[in-house]
Amino acid sequence: MADVFAASGEEGIAALVAQAYDAALGHESWPALLARLADLLGGDSAVALHPTGTPLPRDEAIRIRVDPACVPLYNAHYHATWPVLPALPRLPAVFADRMLVPEATFQRSEFYADYARPQGRHSGLYWIDGGPEGLGAHLSVWRTRRRPDWGEAEMRLLRHLGPHLRRALVIARRLAAQAQPRPVVAIAVDPVAPRELDCLAWVARGASSKQIARQLGLSMHTVNAYLASARRKLKAGSRSEAVATALQLGLIQV
């Protein structure tokens, strides 16, 4: 297939990354992010994002185009029959199942025959945030037999998205667990100026530059300059990523 980077352009990929941080902050839905990713990887793709390892007492996965009736079966049994599972400790962050298990062997597995194939799914592409403890957060994208197996172009997209997705999930978990406001880290620890942090905090609350200017008694030009400076200092590609980074570092609170 054509390179998804070339087909979507840098702006399209940057929008996907920004959408991940927007989802972490609650400004966008996780299913909308997965739908955009599915469109880039092939419109008929089914996608499942597991924020942590499985199984869990409470299912926290986000899924699109997955048969809801199959979810309890996956959690109760089929997650443990995934043929790739024994190789997990030595896997790269992004891989396709056909890279690790021969197609004929994979198709004879219980996972494929009784779980994947009945849903019309044939070949899986994965991103994992694994470690010594085993499978952590992970993303799986499945396509039908009608489409070719996954190639380097699609894996390249997930390799680019993966680190951002990891950070976004960490931020989402921290925000969900935040019972009490956390103090702002001393400015001496970080070069971001107090007024820049004020602007970022208002962005985190969903405010526009015009609304921030009104709240802080500044001009829109000054607000945009503060936000641009904060983005540079935090090495962020967008406002959403700058906010996400500041939240992760404890520099701002919402």
Collect all residues with Cβ–Cβ distance below 8 Å to 77 and sequence separation of at least 6.
none
What pLDDT sits at residue 207? 87
What pLDDT sits at residue 189? 38
Q: Which of 237, 219, 111, 118 is nearest to 167 (CA)?
A: 237
Residue 254 has pLDDT above 80, yes or no: no
55: cis peptide before it, omega within 30°? yes
Give 164-198 pLDDT, tens digit per residue: 999 899 888 877 776 444 444 443 335 799 999 99
Q: pTM to 2 decimals?
A: 0.74
Question: How far is 156 from 54, CA to CA, in rounded Å?
Answer: 25
Instruction: Measure CA of the first residue to CA of the last residue in the chain; give whole Å.
Output: 43
Residues 251, 201: contact at Cβ < 8 Å? no
> Residue 162 is inside which H or E element, if any?
helix 152-177
Give 152-162 pLDDT, tens digit per residue: 989 999 999 99
What pLDDT sits at residue 180? 46
Tokens (6 digits) for 164: 């951002």
Give 98-144 pLDDT, tens digit per residue: 888 888 999 999 999 999 999 999 999 999 987 666 678 999 999 98
Range of weakest confidence among 48-52, 88-92, 194-198: 88-92
What pLDDT sits at residue 8? 56
Q: Which of 3, 1, 44, 40 is nearest to 20 (CA)?
A: 40
Phi-psi region of 26 (alpha: psi -120 to 50; beta: other; left: phi over 0): left
Residues 71, 59: contact at Cβ < 8 Å? yes
Long-range contacts of 9-14 (CB under 8 A, 24+ apart): 12/40, 13/157, 13/160, 14/237, 14/238
Q: Which whole-number Å values give the CA distances from 139 to 34, 94, 173, 191, 220, in the listed order?
A: 10, 9, 16, 35, 39
Question: How far is 102 from 124, CA to CA, in rounded Å?
Answer: 13
DSSP string, 1-19: ---HHHHHHHHHHHHHHHH
Range of weakest confidence among 49-53, 78-82, 180-184: 180-184
